[in-house]
Amino acid sequence: MTNPYPSDKALVPFVSVDHMMQLVHHIGIEPMLIGLADAIEEDFHRWELFDKTPRVASHSAEGVIELMPTSDGEVYGFKYVNGHPKNMKEGLQTVTAFGLLADVGNGYPVLLSEMTLLTALRTAATSAMVAKHLAPKGARTMAMIGNGAQSEFQSLAMKAICGIDTVRLWDIDPAATRKAAANLRGTGLTVVECSSAEHSMESAQIITTCTADKQCATILTDNMIGAGVHINAIGGDCPGKTELAAEILHRSDIFVEFPEQTRIEGEIQQLAPDHPVTELWQVINGTAKGRTSERQITLFDSVGFAIEDFSALRYVRAATKGTAFYHDLDLLADPDDPRDLFGMLRRAAP
Ligand code: NAD
């Protein structure tokens, strides 16, 4: 039902899935990944300004539902996101999301957006922004292990932001690899469909793991990892859900988003609670070291942090302003006399 008393100041821009797809095509996926990576990097530079808390997770036997809030003091944001590895077999997405920005001054929402696509874009942009700082110089080849919903986004972001030209695909389900290879055709990447995880890692300087399983899996074993690579570990992002053998963690320098959250959810849940890790925002602002030698193994233990979603939402807010890529949503009751909420309801009687 439409609001009989709409007030322009209370209409909330809403970016639907359809609008998000139109926006990506309008900007171009690689320029958008670059723009998102820039927005995320800018916010990592002003990291200390933000409210930070590990996300609020509600676990069940099948998956997890999470809320991810943050604020920079002027704008507040949160994302609702789920993770249900069994969904894919039922024809549903493993990860779906939506998010909101609000004005801290009056608490009114200023943007509501789909975030299933935006999460894939921002996760890929974050991975590539981090790899730009940590991967070996001149890295050209990435192993992409797990060829599900996130995988093409990861591949294209590494191309656009780090300059990789070859992606080597591996998934236990050959149909997933065929799908990713077909989707990446014509993007300028050389795509190699591989017969095992080991095969995918041949000559790769960047190794991305992006699998979904609700358990401590061992996608990478210690003997698979040679000196000098950068590991971009995306799929271990929940308590009891990891991808790497613990021995790899002991040989790597580990970089994280927000340690308080990553110690609960990331690969490092396998390590002692005081195992040293480096916070990425400090590498980005130059107060901590990133890669220091050619033989060093760098590991981005990615779990996804609220500030990345905030950056993505503020990018979308700016990119959609003055365009046709949103609807005005009648989300907030906003009577002309703010104390007469009941009167507004009464006047709407049929
Ligand atoms: P998806 O279900 O679409 O794809 C996962 C793929 O992994 C499937 O194709 C599956 O066959 C494959 N797989 C499972 N076990 C494997 C194994 N042992 N070896 C190789 N492949 C294997 O899921 P998705 O949306 O692509 O998400 C992938 C993972 O990334 C999930 O665990 C999700 O929670 C995580 N994720 C993390 C972030 C982050 O910020 N770190 C963001 C989004 C998603």
Q: What is the pLDDT of residues 93-150, one digit of tens each?
A: 999 999 999 999 999 999 999 999 999 999 999 999 999 999 999 999 999 999 999 9
Dist CA 269 CA 264 (whole Å): 6
- Name all residues whose Cβ lies below 6 A of ligand 1: 83, 88, 94-95, 119, 123, 145-150, 170-173, 176, 210-213, 217, 219, 234-235, 237, 302-304
Q: Residue 4 — pLDDT band, cuts 50, 70, 90?
A: very low
Q: 329: Cβ–Cβ under 8 A, 6 or more apart, which residues? A: 11, 12, 13, 14, 112
Strand partners, 109: 102
Q: Would the pLDDT of 182 be above 60? A: yes
Neighbouring C-beta atoms of residue 346, cutoff 10 Å: 9
Ligand 1 center to residue 279 CA distance, Å? 24
Neighbouring C-beta atoms of residue 161, cutoff 10 Å: 23
One CATH from 3.60.70.12, 3.40.50.620, 3.40.50.970, 3.40.50.720 for 127-304 = 3.40.50.720
Ligand 1 center to residue 236 CA distance, Å? 9
User: Which of 210, 215, 218, 268 best tests ligand 1's pocket when mutated (most atoms within 8 Å of CB)?
Assistant: 210
The answer to whether the CB of 183 falls within 8 A of the CB of 191 is no
Residue 215 confidence (pLDDT) = 86
* Position 328, amino acid: D
* Position 332, amino acid: L
In the chain, list all ranges with CATH 3.40.50.720. Answer: 127-304
Mean pLDDT for 293-303 is 98
Cα torsion through 112, 303, 28, 320, rounded to 10: 20
Instruction: List the 230-233 sheet strands across, edge first.
Output: 190-193, 166-170, 141-145, 206-209, 230-233, 297-301, 252-256, 278-279
Dist CA 130 CA 277 (whole Å): 15
Residue 9 confidence (pLDDT) = 65
Dist CA 91 CA 93 (whole Å): 7
Residue range 12-117+307-333+340-347 in CATH 3.30.1780.10:
yes
Instruction: Report the run of H or E that residue 287 belongs to, with start and end.
Output: none
Residue 2 confidence (pLDDT) = 42
> DSSP state, 324?
S
140-181 residue pLDDT tens: 999 999 999 999 999 999 999 999 999 999 999 999 999 999
User: Which of 95, 213, 302 best tests ligand 1's pocket when mutated (most atoms within 8 Å of CB)?
Assistant: 95
Residue 246 confidence (pLDDT) = 97
Q: Would the pLDDT of 7 be above 60? A: no
Ligand 1 center to residue 127 CA distance, Å? 14
Q: Would the pLDDT of 10 be above 90? A: no
Ligand 1 center to residue 89 CA distance, Å? 13
Instruction: Report the run of H or E that residue 253 belongs to, with start and end.
Output: strand 252-256
Q: Residue 6 — pLDDT band, cuts 50, 70, 90?
A: very low
Residue 213 confidence (pLDDT) = 85
Mean pLDDT for 23-50 is 98
Question: Pick the catalytic residue: 171, 237, 309, 334?
Answer: 237
Neighbouring C-beta atoms of residue 100, cutoff 10 Å: 21
Mean pLDDT for 221-234 is 97
The mean pLDDT value of the chain amounts to 96
Active site residue 237: yes
Percent of the chain with pLDDT over 70: 97
The answer to whether the CB of 114 falls within 8 A of the CB of 15 is yes
In the chain, list all ranges with CATH 3.30.1780.10. Answer: 12-117+307-333+340-347
Helix, strand, coil % (nearest 5) of the chain?
A: 40, 25, 35
- Of 4-18, 221-235, 314-328, 329-343, minimum mean pLDDT range: 4-18
Of 161, 170, 156, give the one whose Cα is nearest residue 135. 161
Structure tokens at 305: 């942090």
Q: Residue 8 — pLDDT band, cuts 50, 70, 90?
A: low
